[in-house]
């Protein structure tokens, strides 16, 4: 076992200490979409619930979120958990508004935002959101990096640094052993680079230097047309269930999507383990490689998320390093 990764997993215990009643927990914004990084966080969070015997009474994705339904499940001692990730801020306003609705509607309940990276492109939007959160006296925010920790000081008096929830999967996922890493000779490299709104000139610069036979992928290249159809089906079904107030159907979607998410993760780690080295601008391309024991190099995204995480948590892993041109 890698001592750094074991330590990162153990650090997630600090979240457990903030849950007064482990039998009275609600969990919102689990990812019913095909961002595999978010699915890894999701799987890690569900593993966290199992490992610490936390009973979640209600799970809702964004598509099935209804604040009036939530009111029926909230008791004075209920703890509300918000999914972690990198969507805290104004790049994903709908998700931020969902968290704000919870903060405003339940001012006396403990609300925990699981480890996030925060980014606001607009200072006015940041101050507006901070004013909403700051009114809540029992809101606990976990930051995945130091810039986020500093920014979140504007939002709450209860801010802590914490690694990503995907680290709870360490010891659950298959791991390439140290002897296998040292025996690498083919040096088959996967360039795992962003293609979405967080991509920057960095990805273009890397690809410009590669030979035509070198392999460049993103999550979307591992996913299939079938995956996209299934995601659209469940997303539409969740919206319909929400519109019709079918609680039983929402719960069924929770169960089935979680099973499908795990199948996608299995396919992804099978793909990653085909390579000897991963060079990535995806934060979870980096975290995933670390969890799987694959030597990897991490380069930044458009706003410094990856370097912040690497410097805070993973730079001591002996088979991981910063990418240098």
Quote the number of domains for the chain. 1
Q: Find how far residue 93's CA is from the centre of its chain.
A: 17
- What's the CATH number where 57 sits? 3.40.50
Instruction: Flag whether 64 is in a domain.
Output: yes
Which are the contacts of 133, defined by CB distance < 8 A and separation ≥ 6?
Answer: 100, 103, 139, 141, 155, 156
Question: Does residue 288 contact residue 273 with C-beta atoms inside 8 Å?
Answer: no
Please report how many Cα atoms fall inside a 13 Å half-sphere around the Cα of residue 15, on the Cβ side: 32
Instruction: Flag whether 61 is in a domain.
Output: yes
The mean pLDDT value of the chain amounts to: 93
Instruction: Flag whether 153 is in a domain.
Output: yes
Tokens of 301: 């995204």
- Domain extent, residue 43, equals 3-168
Tokens of 160: 């802590």
Instruction: Flag whether 239 is in a domain.
Output: no
Instruction: Flag whether 11 is in a domain.
Output: yes
The string of pLDDT tens digits covering residues 175-196 is: 887 656 555 556 799 999 988 7
Instruction: Flag whether 292 is in a domain.
Output: no
| pLDDT tens digit at each of 325 positions of the chain | 899 999 999 999 999 999 999 999 999 999 999 999 999 999 999 999 999 999 999 999 999 999 999 999 999 999 999 999 989 999 889 999 999 999 999 999 999 999 999 999 999 999 999 999 999 999 999 999 999 999 999 999 999 999 999 999 999 999 887 656 555 556 799 999 988 777 678 888 888 888 888 888 999 999 999 999 999 999 999 999 999 999 999 999 999 999 999 999 999 999 999 999 999 999 999 999 999 999 999 998 766 788 889 999 999 999 999 987 6
Instruction: Flag whether 237 is in a domain.
Output: no
Residue 180: what pLDDT?
62
Q: Which CA distances in Å does 115 have to 87, 119, 164? A: 11, 13, 6
Residue 29 burial by Cβ neighbours in a 10 Å radius (0-12, 13-18, 19+):
buried
């Amino acid at each position: 076992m890698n001592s750094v990764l074991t330590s990162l997993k153990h650090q997630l215990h600090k979240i457990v200490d903030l849950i007064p009643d482990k039998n009275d927990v609600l969990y919102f914004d689990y990812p019913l979409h095909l961002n595999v990084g978010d699915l890894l966080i999701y799987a890690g969070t569900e593993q966290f619930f199992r490992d610490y015997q936390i009973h979640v009474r209600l799970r809702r994705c964004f598509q099935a979120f209804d604040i009036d339904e939530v009111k029926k499940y909230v008791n004075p001692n209920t703890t509300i958990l918000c999914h972690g990730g990198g969507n805290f801020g104004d790049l994903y306003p709908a998700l931020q508004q969902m968290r704000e609705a919870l903060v405003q509607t339940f001012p006396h309940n403990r609300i925990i935002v699981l480890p996030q990276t925060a980014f606001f492109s607009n200072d006015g939007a940041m101050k507006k959101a901070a004013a909403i959160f700051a009114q809540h006296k029992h809101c606990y925010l976990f930051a995945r990096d130091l810039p986020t920790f500093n920014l979140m000081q504007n939002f709450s008096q209860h801010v802590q640094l914490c690694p990503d929830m995907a680290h709870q999967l360490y010891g659950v996922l298959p791991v390439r052993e140290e002897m296998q890493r040292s025996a690498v000779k083919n040096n088959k490299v996967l360039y795992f680079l962003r293609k979405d709104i967080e991509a920057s000139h960095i990805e273009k610069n890397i690809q410009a230097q590669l030979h035509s036979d070198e392999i460049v992928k993103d999550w979307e290249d591992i996913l299939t047309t079938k995956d996209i159809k299934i995601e659209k089906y469940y997303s539409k079904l969740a919206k319909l269930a929400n519109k019709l107030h079918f609680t039983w159907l929402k719960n069924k979607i929770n169960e089935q999507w979680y099973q499908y998410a795990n199948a996608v993760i299995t396919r992804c780690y099978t793909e990653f383990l085909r390579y000897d080295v991963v060079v990535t601008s995806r934060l979870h391309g980096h975290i995933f490689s670390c969890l799987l024991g694959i030597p990897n190099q991490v380069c930044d995204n458009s706003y410094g998320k990856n370097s912040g995480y690497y410097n805070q948590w993973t730079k001591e892993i002996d088979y991981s390093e910063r990418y240098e041109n």
